[in-house]
């Protein structure tokens, strides 16, 4: 069954002054004492940094001793670290508390307890925007649809800079409730959602007319490459003679999974490379084994990250026609650094480049053929949030079918 296309279409210091920063302060204070006694020379840059962090410690001490209520040291520390990372003004860099990191890691593991939405940051207005809801989830049942903008969670205003925090707030124990306020075309709507266990599918597939195989890949999760290969093999047995890959609404996921899938579709060569600020480069490659069928790839403005890596490589090699809308434009790489207490730091370390060296960050990838969802299709999904979009209303997919038919018949 072809699911909804457009709906496819996501702080001061303290004890870690003992754990993270504590040892740093101890060393710096010792160095400062040595400096005053004339027994050491502190480089000007390090001395300035020591003074800066000394101010942070001073603020902590003042709050601990004089604030009207006794502050929670752990919350102060978490807030300080979150503020430090937030100062980068990078929506992809984030400090996770222990609980937030636990929830974050659930995203690639097939199920979680929450409301069942994929969300992203809309760059032009820094809003948290719904990409899709999972069929049967609390969000889908309530009528939340793609392009709704989440403005409040549990009464707290949220925006794109708070994406991971907002996602964490919407998760929780099955049966518990959370209020989510969305902005839909200027009208605010509040939903009280009862959290539930949400199964996260990574793809769906089927045979279309004229022996055309179709896979809608939702995300690049732990098992997606294997599931992708199994789907292809099943459709080959059904006589697949052409192939359409749908990446609309796919927010990305694991780079390793993306490369594994690219290896199935591409000839031998470079899939993608990443480069850090020092110019260090890491290449990811495919082997010579390749799916050699007439192919089209569907993308939209919510196709991001790993979706763009795969699309960019396919486009550079010319093995498929890219159809849809210009992609999101997330061409940066994040690493995750876990800490012993269960917290973690996710931070941007490098950029992705396509095999031909294209930098897609904040630019996206332009399709070979531009096709958007019709207003009729969009209105249908708003009025029927729990129904599948009929094929006859899916203009991008219809155009892809037409394209691969032509390729197939021209062979």
Handedness of CA 360, 335, 105, 150 (dihedral sign): negative
Entry field: residues in the chain = 411
Pairing mode of beta strands 149-153, 177-184: antiparallel
How far apart CA 249 and CA 6 sit, in angstroms, is 7
CB 63 within 8 A of CB 76: yes
Kind and range of the H or E element at 234?
helix 224-237
- Considering 148, 260, 316, 394, which one is annotated as catalytic? 316
57 included as an active-site residue? no
Which of 397, 404, 215, 391 minimizes the C-alpha distance to 296?
Answer: 404
- Considering 137, 224, 286, 305, which one is annotated as catalytic? 305
3-state secondary structure of 115: coil
Q: What is the largest CA-CA distance in the chain?
A: 86
330 included as an active-site residue? yes
List Cβ neighbours of 129 (8 Å cut-off, separation of 6 or more).
119, 120, 121, 122, 147, 148, 149, 150
78 included as an active-site residue? no
- Considering 325, 330, 378, 405, which one is annotated as catalytic? 330
How far apart CA 25 and CA 23 sit, in angstroms, is 5
Rg (CA), the chain: 24
Catalytically active residues are: 305, 316, 330
């Amino acid at each position: 069954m072809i699911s909804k296309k457009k709906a496819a279409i996501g702080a001061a210091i303290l004890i870690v002054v003992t754990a993270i920063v504590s040892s740093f302060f101890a060393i710096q204070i010792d160095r400062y004492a040595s400096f005053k006694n004339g027994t050491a020379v502190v480089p000007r840059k390090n001395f300035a940094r020591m003074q800066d962090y000394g101010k942070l410690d001073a603020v902590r001490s003042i709050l601990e001793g004089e604030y009207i209520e006794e502050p929670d040291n752990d919350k102060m520390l978490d807030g300080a670290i979150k503020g430090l990372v937030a100062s980068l003004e990078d929506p992809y860099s984030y400090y996770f508390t222990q609980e937030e990191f636990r929830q974050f890691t659930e995203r690639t593991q097939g199920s979680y307890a929450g409301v069942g939405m994929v969300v992203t940051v809309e760059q032009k207005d820094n809003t948290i925007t719904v990409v899709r809801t999972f069929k049967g989830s609390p969000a889908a049942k309530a009528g939340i649809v793609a392009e709704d903008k989440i403005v409040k969670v549990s009464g707290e205003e949220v925006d794109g800079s708070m994406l991971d925090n907002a996602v964490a707030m919407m998760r929780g124990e099955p049966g518990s409730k959370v209020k989510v306020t969305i902005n839909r075309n200027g009208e605010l709507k509040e939903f009280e959602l009862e959290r539930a266990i949400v199964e996260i599918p990574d793809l769906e597939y089927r045979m279309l007319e004229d022996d055309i195989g179709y896979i809608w890949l939702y995300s690049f999760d732990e098992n997606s490459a294997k599931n992708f290969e199994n789907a292809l093999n099943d459709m080959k047995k059904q006589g697949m003679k052409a192939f359409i890959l749908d990446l609309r609404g796919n927010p990305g996921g694991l780079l390793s999974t993306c490369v594994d899938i690219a290896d199935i579709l591409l000839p031998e060569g470079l899939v993608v490379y990443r480069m850090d600020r020092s110019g260090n480069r890491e290449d990811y490659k495919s082997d010579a084994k390749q799916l050699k069928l007439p192919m089209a790839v569907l993308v939209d403005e919510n196709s991001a990250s790993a979706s763009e890596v795969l699309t960019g490589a396919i486009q550079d090699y010319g093995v498929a026609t890219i159809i849809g809308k210009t992609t999101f434009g997330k061409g940066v790489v994040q690493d995750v650094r876990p800490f012993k207490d269960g917290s973690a730091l996710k931070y941007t370390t490098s950029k992705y480049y396509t095999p031909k060296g294209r930098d897609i960050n904040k630019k996206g990838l332009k399709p070979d053929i531009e096709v958007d969802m019709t207003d009729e299709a969009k209105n249908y999904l708003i009025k029927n949030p729990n129904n599948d979009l009929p094929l006859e209303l899916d203009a991008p997919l219809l155009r892809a079918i037409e394209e691969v038919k032509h390729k197939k018949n021209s062979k």
